[in-house]
C-alpha cells in the first residue's frame, strides 16, 4: 500500500476518497447520458441530415453524406462531454472517464469527417489519435507536461524552434485546412451550379474563381496559424516569378486563356467546334486545356492557348442550328422535277432533320456525268454527328429513286475507233506475235 501511495504521489495522484468516488460516479453517469444522447441523435437526426445533405449538395458530397449518422452521433457526444468537462472543476479521478469518452468521441468524429472529405486514411487516424491524447490529457490535467516534453525534443534554427510539438501542430493544421478547403469547394461549387441566374459558362467560371479564392484564403490562414513569417518567402517568390517568366510561360498562358474563354463565352461546354483536324463537342474547359469528345469517343485535350490563337469553328456559338449539305447527282434523261421532289422527301422524312427551317434542294451544276444537286437540311443537335444524317438521307433517297426508275449516274467513257487496218494485215500481225 505504501508503494502504491508513493507511485501515485510521484504522478500527482492519490487514492480516491469517498468524495472522489462519488464525483467519479456522477461523472460516469454523465458520460453514459452523453453517449446515449449521441446514439439517439445519430439514429433520429443522422438519416434526415444525410438526405438533406444529399439533396442540396448532390454528388459533391458523396463521401460525406453516407457517414453523417455516425458524424452526428460522435459529434453530439463530443459536444455534450466537452460542456461537461468544462462545467465543473472535476478531480483527476472524475476527469478520467469524461476525458476518455470525450477523447474517443472527438477522435471518431474527426476520423469520419476527414474520411468523408477524402483525406487519406493514415492522416485521419493520426489526427484522431492526436486529438484523443490531447483531450484526454487535458481532462485529467496532464496536457502541459506532454506539450513541454514534445517541445523539448527539437532544435533551434535561428529564431525558430523545430520540435515534435511544432511538427504535430503543423500536421494537424494542414490536414484540417485541407478538409475545410474540400468542404468549402464542394458546398460553394454546388451552390453556384444550382443558381438559375447564371448560364453554364458563368457557373463554370464562378466555380473556378471561387476555388482559387478558397485555396488562396486557406494558404494565408494556414501561414497565420503556423506563425510563419511571410518575409521568408521573398526570395522564393522572386525565384518563382523568374521561373514563370521563362519555364512556365505556356502554363500561365493556358491558365489565362482558359479564364478569358470562360469570361467572353466564345466557347462553352456543349458547343460543337472544329479546331484543325479535331471535330467534336466541348466536354470541359479546364485550367490547362479544353476537352473535346469526337464522334469516335476519343477525347482530345486542346491547350487553351491554341483556341485563342487559332481559327476555331463553333457550330453552336449563337445558334445551335447547323445546315448540312448533301451532294446528289441524277441522270440527264430522268424526270428532273420528280427527282428533286424525291430528294426533298428523303430529307423531310429523316428524323433528325428540322421541319423549320425546311430542307431545300438546289441544282448546282450540269456535270460531266449527270445533273448535280445539293440537299440542304438543318439539324439542331450537331453534337450527335453530321455523317449519320447524310447517311440516313442518302439511304432513303436510294430506294425512292429505285422505285421511280431514276438512275444515279456514274463515270463512263466511250471510245470511238475511226479506222482499222485490213483484216489480212491484222492476221499477219497476230501470227508474227504468236510466233
Closest by CA position to 97, among listed 153, 35, 27: 27
Do 362 and 374 form a contact (C-beta atoms < 8 A)?
yes
Do 330 and 336 form a contact (C-beta atoms < 8 A)?
yes
Question: How does 198-235 read in b/e, with b if 16+ C-beta sit within 10 Å?
Answer: eeebbbbbbbbebbeebeeebeeebeeeeeeeeeeeee
Q: Look at residue 184 in the predicted model and tell me its pLDDT.
A: 80
Count structural domains, the chain: 3
**Residue 333 DSSP class:** T
Assess whether 125 and 273 both reside in one domain. Answer: no
- Give the domain extent around 112: 19-193
**Residue 88 DSSP class:** S
CA distance 115 to 74: 14
CA distance 328 to 345: 14
Cβ neighbors of 355 (< 8 A, separation 6 or more) are 348
What confidence tens digit (pLDDT) does each residue in 122-151 have?
A: 888 888 888 888 877 777 666 666 666 666
What confidence tens digit (pLDDT) does each residue in 303-332 have?
A: 887 777 778 877 777 777 888 899 999 888
| H or E element that contains 83 | helix 68-87
Assess whether 48 and 156 both reside in one domain. Answer: yes
Assess whether 302 and 378 both reside in one domain. Answer: no
Assess whether 143 and 23 both reside in one domain. Answer: yes
What confidence tens digit (pLDDT) does each residue in 164-208 have?
A: 777 777 787 788 888 888 888 777 777 777 777 666 666 777 777
| Bridge partners of residue 300, in order along the sequence | 292
293 vs 160, which has greater pLDDT? 293
In a domain, 3, yes or no: no
Band the pLDDT of 1: cuts 50, 70, 90: very low
Lowest mean pLDDT segment, chosen from 171-180, 247-256, 393-402, 418-427:
418-427
Domain's final residue, options 270, 292, 314? 314
Cβ neighbors of 272 (< 8 A, separation 6 or more) are 279, 280, 281, 282, 314, 315, 316, 322, 382, 383
User: What CATH number should be reported for the domain holding residue 302?
Assistant: 2.30.30.60
pTM of this structure: 0.52
Assess whether 85 and 116 both reside in one domain. Answer: yes
Assess whether 308 and 358 both reside in one domain. Answer: no
Q: Is 282 exposed, middle or buried (0-12, 13-18, 19+ CB in 10 A)?
A: buried
Amino acid at each position: 500500500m505504501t508503494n502504491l501511495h508513493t507511485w501515485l504521489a510521484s504522478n500527482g495522484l492519490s487514492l480516491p476518497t469517498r468524495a472522489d468516488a462519488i464525483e467519479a460516479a456522477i461523472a460516469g453517469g454523465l458520460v453514459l447520458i452523453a453517449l446515449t444522447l449521441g446514439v439517439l441523435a445519430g439514429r433520429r437526426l443522422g438519416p434526415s441530415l444525410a438526405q438533406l445533405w444529399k439533396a442540396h449538395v448532390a454528388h459533391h458530397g458523396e463521401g460525406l453524406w453516407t457517414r453523417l449518422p455516425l458524424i452526428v452521433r460522435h459529434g453530439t457526444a463530443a459536444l455534450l462531454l466537452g460542456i461537461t468537462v468544462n462545467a465543473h472543476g472535476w478531480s483527476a479521478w472524475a476527469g478520467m472517464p469524461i476525458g476518455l469518452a470525450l477523447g474517443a468521441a472527438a477522435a471518431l468524429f474527426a476520423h469520419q469527417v476527414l474520411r468523408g472529405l477524402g483525406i487519406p486514411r493514415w492522416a485521419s487516424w493520426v489526427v484522431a489519435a492526436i486529438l484523443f491524447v490531447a483531450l484526454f490529457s487535458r481532462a485529467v490535467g496532464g496536457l502541459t507536461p506532454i506539450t513541454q516534453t514534445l517541445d523539448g525534443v527539437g532544435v533551434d534554427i535561428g529564431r525558430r524552434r523545430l520540435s515534435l510539438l511544432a511538427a504535430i501542430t503543423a500536421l494537424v493544421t494542414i490536414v484540417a485546412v485541407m478538409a475545410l478547403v474540400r468542404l468549402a469547394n464542394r458546398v460553394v461549387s454546388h451552390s453556384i451550379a444550382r443558381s438559375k441566374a447564371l448560364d453554364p459558362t458563368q457557373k463554370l467560371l464562378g466555380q473556378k474563381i471561387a476555388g482559387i479564392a478558397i485555396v488562396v484564403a486557406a494558404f494565408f490562414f494556414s501561414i497565420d496559424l503556423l506563425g510563419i513569417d511571410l518575409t521568408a518567402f521573398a526570395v522564393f517568390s522572386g525565384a518563382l516569378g523568374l521561373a514563370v517568366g521563362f519555364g512556365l510561360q505556356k502554363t500561365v498562358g493556358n491558365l489565362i486563356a482558359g479564364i478569358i474563354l470562360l469570361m467572353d463565352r466564345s466557347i462553352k461546354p456543349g458547343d460543337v467546334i472544329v479546331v484543325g483536324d479535331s471535330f467534336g463537342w466541348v466536354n470541359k474547359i479546364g485550367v490547362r486545356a479544353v476537352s473535346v469528345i469526337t464522334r469516335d469517343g476519343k477525347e482530345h485535350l486542346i491547350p487553351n492557348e491554341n483556341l485563342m490563337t487559332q481559327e476555331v469553328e463553333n457550330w453552336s456559338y449563337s445558334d445551335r442550328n447547323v445546315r448540312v449539305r448533301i451532294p446528289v447527282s441524277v441522270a440527264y434523261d430522268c424526270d428532273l422535277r420528280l427527282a428533286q421532289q424525291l430528294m426533298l422527301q428523303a430529307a423531310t422524312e429523316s428524323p433528325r432533320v428540322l421541319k423549320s427551317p425546311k430542307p431545300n434542294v438546289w441544282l448546282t451544276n450540269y456535270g460531266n456525268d449527270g445533273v448535280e444537286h445539293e440537299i440542304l437540311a438543318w439539324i439542331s443537335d450537331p453534337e450527335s454527328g453530321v455523317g449519320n444524317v447524310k447517311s440516313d438521307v442518302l439511304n432513303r433517297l436510294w430506294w425512292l429513286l429505285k422505285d421511280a426508275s431514276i438512275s444515279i449516274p456514274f463515270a463512263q467513257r466511250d471510245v470511238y475507233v475511226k479506222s482499222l487496218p485490213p483484216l489480212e494485215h491484222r492476221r499477219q500481225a497476230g501470227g508474227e506475235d504468236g510466233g
